[in-house]
């Protein structure tokens, strides 16, 4: 794990001499893809990052949004894929820890977590099952111990993740605007390392993550300690309240090398530090190991002499260690010493800014014919197909997962996991709605439309709670960027997201790029995961129980778009077909109409139509409300299609609205005003899920039976030996 020869030559030219071994280690960590974004950075600039609510300050690792009344929300997303694929428990847990410290760095308290998990086929792959089970436990043990609720997320299984694990974690913070850390430093300020001891775990982790996964390098995986993290959170927030922090950064990828060089570069200062002052877990650690160790639960703080005494008192109270490892200089250099000996002395600008690449891209050959459609054989029994889908790993209820996460602690969780998006109450009477969504099946078939679809789906989910999207987090996960075909899929996804973000005026407030997600079996499918944050000024939609006689309206057209659907891939084992595409204009008016009917308190619930199509979405309403339904397929808005296309197409921009009949007229007034395509498609009644087409029965399923399969199948899959 070191610099490429080209990069080494570049470094030599830049510093005008041969680098020392410590300098080499520092630069190799910082110039890794993981830390430097060298392949992607040039292109990421296309995303809109500003907006009326966005607060930009130098050196923040998380996005900051002004939610009014003197309060801010912070948000960030990260992944821990490589480590989780080797050691799922520790990898997933430290993934949670890392993103939480990004939220803390801004001076805000972390108030919620969401996680997106992706693994191979757990129905027949024991290794995938092991990875899944342990990643879930890792996240649960870490988040639960900290008392930060895990309020939502998603879980997906696909062959492309065989022998691999995707663990994405998004974190949300909340605080007072006046308490935000305004990163600054003056000459003579002290540089303090606070928290866990530096050990030999996570050595070279960022380089490990910047290569395809071929070896199981366990020493590159960090060891989690949520108890220390909890103490750090409380200590830092106390120090923040006493205004003891000039600047702060968490130690993540690249360890001290990265934190010191990036802090210095962002603040336009130099930092001189002594590795002997770093508190270590083992006494015989080499200087280079200390500089690149990615031991967790550590924060870098810039403060001054006077404030240091108070900071030390706080650390004593929480019994956490804090070491003064250096001070601020004004020569813009990162100067590392061991005692009196200088072991690295290099411009922070050189360390923190790797030369950005402009990699070639070309449209993958596989895409040439992939969107051509295929006629599936006529289904003999739709009810049986429905049961199969309800019990399939991607559609089955994820209650086995979120039931292990404390999603109530913090007493903010208004809408709990298991619904479209989670809703948290804020101290100013407003509410926050959040959701993350990915869809590698669709992104594989059409990277651009697939990525836009993830974005729109996350928006739909928060809209269903009555929230207006105010910010987006993007997590772009792909294989090796040096493969022009893979890089093309990255660019296409990014362009799609940019178009949607600009058109809908939703700024990107945070994100991450994770490349080299591949094993000896090949690269993953393009896996952008999009988080959307929505704000509710008044009251969130309080989901009411559906009763017999309540009606169902569907908003949005169902199209001939079975490509990448669960139905195509799980039932017919077919990868291909036409990928669902978002019509921006239709999307916008549908969203706005749903927001208005929620604001006017005309409905009982709004539910988004996505994985599994409308057949699954309607069944979910029936199963969670313990009631049957009677749906007429000929009434579904959209073109005239075969029954299976109507039932299982995963077209975007569609919403299911449940309401009491007395509100029908008022509802229609709003929907007509927005000129959306909608229709009254049926009612809730009885004990079975019934679909008919032109009065011909198509599906008839007992709610009890469906519910049992849907609720239990994932747990049974995991526990089955």
CB of 319 to other proteins, least distance (A): 7
User: Which residue has tokens 């570069």?
Assistant: 265
On whether the CB atoms of residues 441 and 161 are closer than 8 A, the answer is no
Q: Which of residues 300-319 bind other proteins (CB under 8 A)?
A: 317-319
Catalytic residue among 34, 43, 419, 475: 34
Cβ neighbour number for residue 200 with a 10 Å cutoff: 17
CB of 297 to other proteins, least distance (A): 12
d(CA 269, CA 190): 12
Binding mask 359-398 for other proteins (x = CB under 8 A): ----------------------------------------
Give the residue among 292, 286, 282 at the shortest CA–CA distance from 338: 286
Q: Is 80 a catalytic residue?
A: yes
Catalytic residue among 43, 76, 80, 407: 80
Residue 60 or 405: the one with the smaller Cβ distance to other proteins is 405
CB of 403 to other proteins, least distance (A): 6
Give the residue among 492, 454, 455 at the shortest CA–CA distance from 472: 455
On whether the CB atoms of residues 674 and 622 are closer than 8 A, the answer is no
Give the residue among 490, 2, 477 at the shortest CA–CA distance from 208: 2
Which residues are CB-contacts of 198 (< 8 A; sequence separation ≥ 6)?
255, 256, 278, 279, 280, 281, 285, 290, 293, 295, 298
Binding mask 316-345 for other proteins (x = CB under 8 A): -xxx--------------------------
Binding mask 217-246 for other proteins (x = CB under 8 A): --------xxx--xx---------------
d(CA 192, CA 307): 11
Give the residue among 582, 676, 682 at the shortest CA–CA distance from 632: 682
Residue 147 or 360: the one with the smaller Cβ distance to other proteins is 147
Binding-residue total with other proteins (CB under 8 A): 30
Q: Which of residues 394-413 bind other proteins (CB under 8 A)?
A: 402-413
495 binds other proteins (CB under 8 A): no
Residue 147 or 697: the one with the smaller Cβ distance to other proteins is 147
528, two tokens: 């952008």
Choice from 416, 588, 705, 708 touching other proteins (CB under 8 A): 416
Residue 226 or 253: the one with the smaller Cβ distance to other proteins is 226
Q: Is 184 a catalytic residue?
A: no
CB of 474 to other proteins, least distance (A): 29
Q: Which of residues 135-174 bind other proteins (CB under 8 A)?
A: 137, 140-141, 144-147
d(CA 384, CA 387): 5
Give the residue among 63, 104, 94 at the shortest CA–CA distance from 501: 63
> How deeply is 625 buried, as exposed, middle or buried, from its count of CB atoms within 10 A (0-12, 13-18, 19+)?
buried
DSSP reduced 3-state for 326: strand
Residue 403 or 549: the one with the smaller Cβ distance to other proteins is 403
Sequential DSSP letters for 56-84: --TT-SSEEEEEETTEEEEEEEEE-HHHH
CB of 565 to other proteins, least distance (A): 32
Residue 226 or 254: the one with the smaller Cβ distance to other proteins is 226
Could you list the active site residues? 34, 80
Which residues contribute to the site for other proteins (CB under 8 A)? 137, 140-141, 144-147, 225-227, 230-231, 317-319, 402-414, 416, 425
């Amino acid at each position: 794990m070191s610099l490429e020869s080209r990069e080494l030559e570049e470094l030599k030219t830049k510093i005008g001499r041969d680098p020392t071994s410590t300098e080499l280690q520092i630069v190799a960590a910082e110039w890794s893809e993981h830390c430097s974004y060298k392949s992607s950075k040039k292109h990421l600039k296309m995303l809109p990052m500003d907006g009326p609510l966005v607060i930009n300050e130098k050196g923040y690792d998380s996005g900051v949004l002004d939610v009014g009344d003197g309060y801010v929300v912070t948000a960030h997303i990260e992944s821990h894929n490589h480590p989780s694929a080797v050691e799922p428990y520790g990898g997933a847990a430290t993934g949670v820890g890392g993103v939480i410290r990004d939220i803390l760095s801004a001076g805000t308290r972390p108030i919620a977590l969401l996680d997106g998990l992706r693994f191979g086929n757990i129905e027949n792959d024991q290794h995938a099952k092991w990875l899944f089970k342990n990643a879930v436990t890792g996240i649960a043990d870490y988040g639960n111990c900290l008392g930060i609720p895990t309020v939502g997320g998603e879980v997906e299984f696909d062959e492309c993740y065989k022998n691999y694990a995707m663990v994405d974690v998004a974190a949300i913070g909340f605080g007072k605007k006046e308490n935000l850390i305004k990163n600054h430093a003056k000459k003579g300020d002290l540089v303090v390392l606070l928290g866990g001891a530096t050990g030999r775990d996570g050595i070279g982790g960022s380089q490990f993550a910047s290569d395809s996964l071929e070896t199981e390098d366990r020493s590159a995986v960090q060891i989690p300690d949520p108890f220390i993290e909890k103490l750090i959170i409380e200590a830092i927030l106390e120090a923040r309240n006493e205004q003891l922090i000039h600047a702060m950064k968490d130690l993540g990828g690249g360890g001290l090398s990265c934190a010191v060089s990036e802090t210095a570069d962002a603040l336009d200062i130099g930092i001189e530090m002594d590795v002997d002052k770093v508190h270590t877990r083992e006494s015989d650690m080499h200087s280079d190991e200390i500089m690149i160790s990615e031991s967790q639960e550590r924060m870098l703080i810039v403060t001054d002499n006077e404030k240091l005494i108070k900071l030390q008192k706080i650390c004593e109270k929480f019994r956490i260690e804090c070491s003064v490892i250096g001070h601020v200089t004004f020569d813009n250099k990162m100067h590392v010493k061991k005692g009196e000996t200088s072991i690295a002395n290099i411009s922070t600008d050189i360390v923190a800014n790797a030369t950005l690449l402009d990699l070639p891209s070309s449209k993958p050959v596989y895409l040439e014919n992939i969107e051509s459609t295929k006629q599936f054989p006529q289904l003999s029994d739709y009810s049986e197909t429905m049961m199969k889908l309800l019990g399939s790993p991607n559609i089955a209820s994820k209650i086995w997962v979120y039931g292990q996460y404390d999603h109530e602690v913090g007493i903010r969780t208004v809408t709990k996991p298991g619904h479209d998006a989670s809703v948290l109450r804020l101290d100013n009477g407003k509410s926050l709605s959040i959701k993350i969504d990915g869809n590698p099946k669709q992104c594989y078939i059409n990277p651009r439309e697939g990525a836009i679809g993830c974005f729109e789906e996350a928006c739909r989910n928060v809209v269903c709670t009555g929230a207006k999207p105010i910010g987006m987090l993007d997590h772009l996960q792909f294989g090796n960027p040096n493969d022009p075909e893979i890089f093309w899929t990255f660019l296409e996804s990014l362009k799609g997201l940019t178009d949607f973000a600009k058109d809908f005026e939703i700024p990107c407030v945070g994100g991450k790029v994770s490349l080299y997600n591949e094993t000896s079996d090949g690269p993953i499918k393009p896996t952008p995961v999009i988080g959307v944050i929505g704000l509710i000024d008044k009251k969130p939609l309080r989901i009411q129980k559906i009763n017999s006689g309540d009606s169902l309206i569907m908003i949005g057209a169902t199209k001939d778009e079975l490509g990448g659907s669960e139905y195509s891939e799980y039932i017919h084992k077919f990868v291909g077909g036409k990928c669902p595409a978002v019509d921006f204009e239709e999307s916008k008016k549908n969203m706005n109409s749903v927001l208005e009917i929620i604001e006017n308190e005309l409905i009982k619930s709004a539910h988004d139509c996505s994985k599994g199509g409308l057949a699954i979405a309607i069944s979910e309403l029936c199963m969670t409300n313990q009631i049957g339904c009677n749906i007429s397929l000929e009434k579904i808005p959209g073109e005239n299609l075969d029954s299976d296309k109507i039932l299982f197409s995963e077209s975007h921009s569609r919403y299911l609205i449940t309401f009491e009949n007395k509100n029908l007229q008022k509802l229609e007034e709003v929907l007509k005003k927005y000129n959306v395509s909608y229709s009254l498609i049926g009612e809730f009644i009885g004990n079975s899920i019934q679909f008919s087409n032109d009065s011909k029965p198509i599906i008839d399923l007992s709610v009890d039976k469906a519910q049992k399969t849907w609720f239990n199948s994932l747990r049974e899959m995991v526990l089955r030996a």
